[in-house]
């Protein structure tokens, strides 16, 4: 039984964009099917900024594997190797590591994510990426190291930008993912995604990714066609966190209320309507 297809690797190989759906609120695996129906290619399951558990993440990962939408899990900063091991054994096909500062951080991420001889990940049996079927260890090692344990490093600090070339040069790293909000704050331009200093930082990451054959990703900038178009077509971003469940619920709720006629209660309960919809 071969490991599942990693859509990030497959999409990039085909010159396409891998579109990620973020999950930080809703643990029910049915949300994975909704993401699949909408056309997303991967999941960004967030254990850093949420109360989701490892079990929640595993159930979402397994639903993603069954549905053909590749599951990635962001772990908390400095969470320890044990949690990363459990996330991978639970079905994640890659780990997103926040707040990478140095090449040493990058090497440590690779080491815990990969089986020997590339790393030190511990072996177990009946993994979700192999459909829980007994699989020869040599096959598990080969296929997991190649495509079922992507190492995605978040670039969201000033010192990471200063060391971006040495970080990008680390063998075993698959992608460098911009954490836009934290990076902008670090650079002194909170929310300034269209400033020169923020743009220059992204260009530095793009250049390093091209030099060292890494995938560039972008997170934290949603519903902004101008920046996303520049990122995809100029910076060569191929992994995009398009939105999160919380943002979609909030945006959809606001849109729903805005589309309703305004209702006022008058005279002890009778109703008067004021149509606020624009004429079409």
What is the Cα–Cα distance from 205 to 207, expressed in whole angstroms? Answer: 5
| Chain centroid to CA 123 | 25
CA trace torsion 215, 170, 45, 133 (10° rounding): 100
Q: How many other C-beta atoms lie within 10 A of the C-beta of residue 150?
A: 24
The angle, 0 to 180 degrees and rounded to 10, between the axes of the packed helices 103-113 and 81-89 is 40
Q: Is 212 a catalytic residue?
A: no
Q: Which of 49, 99, 101, 212 is catalytic?
A: 49
What is the Cα–Cα distance from 235 to 222, expressed in whole angstroms? Answer: 17
The angle, 0 to 180 degrees and rounded to 10, between the axes of the packed helices 54-67 and 81-89 is 40
DSSP 150: E
3 state DSSP class of 103: helix
Q: Is the dihedral of CA 193, 35, 87, 14 positive or negative?
A: negative
Could you give the residue numbers annotated as active site? 49
């Amino acid at each position: 039984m071969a490991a599942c297809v990693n859509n990030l690797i497959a999409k990039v190989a085909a010159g396409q964009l891998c579109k990620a759906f973020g999950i930080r609120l809703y643990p029910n695996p049915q949300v994975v099917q909704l993401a699949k129906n909408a056309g997303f290619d991967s999941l960004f399951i967030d254990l850093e900024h949420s109360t989701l558990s490892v079990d929640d993440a595993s159930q979402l990962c397994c639903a993603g594997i069954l549905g053909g939408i590749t599951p990635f899990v962001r772990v908390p900063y400095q969470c320890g190797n044990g949690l990363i091991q459990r996330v991978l054994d639970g079905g994640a096909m890659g780990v997103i590591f926040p707040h990478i500062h140095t090449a040493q951080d990058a090497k440590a991420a690779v080491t815990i994510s990969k089986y020997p001889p590339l790393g030190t990940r511990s072996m177990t049996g009946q993994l979700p990426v192999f459909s829980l079927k007994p699989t020869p260890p040599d096959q598990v090692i080969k296929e997991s190291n190649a495509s079922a344990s992507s190492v995605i490093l978040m670039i969201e600090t000033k010192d990471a930008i200063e060391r971006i070339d040495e970080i990008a040069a680390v063998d075993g790293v698959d992608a460098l993912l911009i954490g836009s909000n934290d990076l902008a704050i670090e650079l002194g331009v909170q929310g300034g995604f269209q400033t020169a200093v923020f743009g220059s930082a992204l260009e530095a990451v793009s250049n390093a990714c091209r030099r060292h054959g890494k995938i560039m990703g972008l997170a934290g900038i949603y519903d902004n066609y101008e920046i996303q178009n520049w990122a995809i077509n100029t910076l060569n971003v191929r992994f995009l966190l398009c939105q999160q469940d919380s943002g979609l619920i909030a945006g959809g709720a606001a849109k729903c209320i805005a589309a309703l006629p305004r209702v006022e209660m008058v005279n002890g309960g009778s109703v008067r309507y004021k149509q606020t919809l624009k004429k079409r």
